[in-house]
Amino acid sequence: MAERSPGVAVVNEEKSEACVQSSMCQDIERVLISAEEIQDRVRDLGRQIDERYAGEDLLLIAVLKGSIVFIADLMRAISIPHEVDFLATSSYGAFSTSSGVVRILKDLNEPIGGRHALLVEDIIDSGHTLAYLTRLFSARNPASLEIVTLLDKPSRREVDIDLFWTGFSIPNEFVIGYGLDFNQKYRNLPYIGVLKPEVYQADSE
């Protein structure tokens, strides 16, 4: 059985040539994690998940909408049989920081009792959403319940979260791209970028 992911790939904070997508790039302060770094890490996570769940009834649970790109790549990096289900929550609204109040907008279609459930998240900061989901799904009696997140902001943590796998540990900055958005935009960028403060500050005024 695989060990918990010791950690965390190093982020690249240098300006990247990846920033070529139309006018959106004028809103990007810098590229934090390149598309190539993301794909290398996702493949590594896929190999670890293969080892951890070999021979088990694995269900990936994608937390929408931010994790859609991550889970699309991750499920293709996993070679063992598995199923996928989707959950939608809300805790941000149109603001740049979490409200701390979690709402379930779409629940799972399938029961998870007796199955090995793996929650797939795009980013964890305060931890309130994941703490709530962990309590919710644990009450449904899965065989196991673990979390894999692409990004983690440990400096923002307000509640304890037991992460099995982390893609990248990042500083407390507003990031977008690779599924992450601001006001539903920027999800299609292939890298993780830092949004210029004036973009989200102007929107909140």
Q: Which of 151, 189, 154 is nearest to 9 (CA)?
A: 151
Tokens of 103: 């709402």
Pairwise CA distance, residues 120 & 126, whole Å: 16
Tokens of 114: 């007796």
What Cα–Cα distance (Å) separates residue 125 from each residue in 68, 83, 143? 18, 27, 27
Q: Which of 79, 10, 84 is nearest to 49 (CA)?
A: 79
Q: Is there a contact between 193 and 34 (Cβ–Cβ < 8 Å)? A: no
Pairwise CA distance, residues 166 & 151, whole Å: 7
- Among residues 73, 122, 125, 152, the one annotated as catalytic is 125
Reduced to 3 states (helix: H, G, I; strand: E, B; else coil), residue 83 is strand
* CA 145 from centre of chain: 16
The reply to whether 40 belongs to the active site is no
Q: In this structure, are strands 165-169 and 116-124 parallel, antiparallel, or unpaired?
A: unpaired
Active site residues: 125
